[in-house]
Structure 1
Amino acid sequence: MPRVPRPAVVTAAVLAFGLLATAPATGDEPNVSAPRVVAHFDLARGESPENIALEPDGSADLTFSNARQVVNVTRQGRTRVLATLPAVANPHTPVVGAAVVLGIARAQNGTLFVNYATGTAATGIWRIPAGGGKPRQIAQLPPTGFPNGLALDERRGVLYAADSVLGTIWRVPRSGGTPRAWATGAALEPRNPRPAARVGANGLRFHRDAVWVSNTNAGTLMRIRVRQNGSACAIETRATRLYAIDDFGFVERHRDTALVALTGGSEVAMVRPDGTHRVVLTSKDGLSNPTSVAVRGRTVYVPGAAYFTQRDPNLLLARVHLRDRG
């Protein structure tokens, strides 16, 4: 979620204080510890890490929203640019006004897909060759929208993109083509009347044959199961009162347990399958407006974009202590 003016989140903050559902850790759930920042980035160069996909070697592919770049960052913090999205003359992007690269998804063959929001015909899904190279637009999405989270269903060969302004989840063939509005409804729509704060459907993951999506303004995490014919089932709200939720990742071997980025409060929360949640990482651990989460084995990756703090955009790694639930 690229930077919006601080007053835009005040309403959500007022609603959130005193309402955040919390509960003590139980003996059979994972825990998070040993946070460490492995890479620091430069705000002056537009290096605000927005979204993340993991490589087999444990390195992270990040989108730098304001720099229009996709970069690879090793676990030791070494960074190299994989691609730069083309500049756009006179962008009219909703929410932010500038051209920004947002969600990212990685195919098993290494191909990367990213959402690019510009307010022009360049808005849509772009493909980047494995290992980096020249990006190419494969699907055009409405320039009046704000394509944010992105996920790939390898088995069906389709991409899902969450539009934060239009309250729509788009479905696009992996090879590219015409997008289809796969899911719509009030649960996906923005709630804030301020144009610079209208952020509805945001983070998106494909998990256990369902599309999971967050709504930033509503503070909700939702699941939409995929039918055999590929159509969407009804939207299920799985957790609420998640202040300024952005993107999220699922903990391996724990089914529907998610780690979610709460960007406004610089926190990461663990959301249990029953919808209760507790904060497991904070700004004291090094978070600076986290925007997404990825989990690989016992390692959790958290990019922090510093949209509001304006201090130390970074990539933080921590350890997940797993307990097998069978």
Structure 2
Amino acid sequence: MPRFSRRAGAAPAAVAIGLLAAVPAASDDPVLARPHTVAHFDLARGQTPESVVAERGGAVDISFAFARQVVKVTRERRVRVLATLPDEKSPRTPLVSSAVTHGLVRALDGTLYVTYATGTDKTGVWRIPAGGGTPEQIAELPANGLPNGLALDERHGVLYAADSALGTVWRIPRSGAEPTAWATGPALTGLPSATGFGANGIKVHKDAVWVTNTDRGTLLRIPVGADGSAGAAETRATGLAGVDDFVFPGHSDIVLAALPQSNEVALVGPDGSHSDVLTVQEGLSNPTALAVSGRDVFVANAAYFTQRDPNLVKARLGTHFSRS
């Protein structure tokens, strides 16, 4: 849920050509084709999408920040509530004040995990049974933190939560146990002169944890050591002002990143260069999160700043990024 200023623009056409040169040229397809809105949500009911996870068969799971809900959007565009996080009568959540659900991941067995921030002992990671049901808190995180993005390393049975307020990446056993402050440091912290939002989006990719920093506009790579410890954070891209969530559309280090205030999705190359590939003209309304299923790309839009039409946009990934 970032607060930020618009980033300086690059030369979009030249940058895009350079980025596409980094992947095998399979056709003349654009990076993202046929974008269209597949679902509209209700701002008045707190249906502000914060995270999106693609399921097989075309459905997606979404966390609604202010509704404190996790829902399924079916292929038929029906919205079904899977779980509602417990209410907090007196939330004291840093940076946002309200109780909010943020990062969402789905395990292979269908279990969902979501971060919840309230400024109380309800702050932490919660588990939702496959198919929906009563959520259960599996890890408590500091009440003065703001757990935001969430990533799952299924192979090692651990979750990683990006804390935007404390500038920390937490490591939590999937089975539920005491969390560990896995990575800290200036690269993960926000800027007091800006919004205060530091570490935000997070993914596990190629034996590393990748994290965005909203205030600093950076994409970071933190290697995972053989013993599970965090290596030194490497800056892989800069100039992504207000960056939120991101996704790897293929097997390389190329990234699609959500830039909420400027209403853009950016393509970020391995060398850090970036270019916009979706804009407000394609239906974006403060994009916060992305998910990929095959060649389908889903973009969740929270409408935090536009205050108009929170929605889900779907586009078709160019064959440059075949995930086979």
The alignment partner of 1:24 has SS state of helix
Asked if the contact 2:10–2:275 (Cα under 8 Å) also holds between the matched residues in 1, the reply is no
The alignment partner of 2:320 has SS state of coil
* Alignment map for 1:175-190 (pairs within 5 Å): 175-190=175-190
CA deviations 1:78-137 (Å, max 9, x no partner) are 110000000012000011101000000111000000000000000000000000000000
Output the CA distance in 2 between the equivalents of 1:200 and 1:218: 7
Output the CA distance in 1 between the equivalents of 2:161 and 2:70: 18
Residue segments in structure 1 that go unaligned for 5+ positions in a row: none
User: How far off is 1:193 after superposition?
Assistant: 2.9
Q: Displaced runs of 4+ in structure 1, greater than 4 A? A: 18-22
The alignment partner of 2:245 has SS state of strand
Q: Which residue of 1 aligns with 2:130?
A: 130
Output the CA distance in 2 between the equivalents of 1:316 and 1:106: 20
Q: Which residue of 2 aligns with 1:311?
A: 308
Output the CA distance in 1 between the equivalents of 2:234 and 2:87: 38
Q: Which residue of 1 aligns with 2:239?
A: 241
Output the CA distance in 2 between the equivalents of 1:174 and 1:60: 22
Matching residue within 266, 271, 274 for 1:274: 271
RMSD, matched Cα: 1.7
* Alignment map for 1:96-245 (pairs within 5 Å): 96-193=96-193, 197-245=195-243
Residue type of the partner of 2:306?
Answer: T
Question: What fraction of aligned residue pairs are identical, expressed as a percent?
Answer: 56
Output the CA distance in 1 between the equivalents of 2:189 and 2:282: 32
Count matched residues: 314
Output the CA distance in 2 between the equivalents of 1:187 and 1:252: 26
Give the TM-score of the pair, scaled to structure 1.
Answer: 0.93
Output the CA distance in 2 between the equivalents of 1:123 and 1:314: 26
CA deviations 1:22-72 (Å, max 9, x no partner) are 613235467111100000000000000000112122211000000000000
State yes or no: 1:262 paired with 2:262. no
Matching residue within 265, 280, 290 for 2:287: 290
Asked if the contact 2:150–2:201 (Cα under 8 Å) also holds between the matched residues in 1, the reply is yes
Output the CA distance in 2 between the equivalents of 1:114 and 1:83: 10
Give the TM-score of the pair, scaled to structure 2.
Answer: 0.93
Asked if the contact 1:261–1:292 (Cα under 8 Å) also holds between the matched residues in 2, the reply is yes
The alignment partner of 1:23 has SS state of helix
CA deviations 1:249-292 (Å, max 9, x no partner) are 11124x11111000110100011111111100000000000001
User: How far off is 1:299 after superposition?
Assistant: 0.7
Output the CA distance in 2 between the equivalents of 1:298 and 1:305: 23
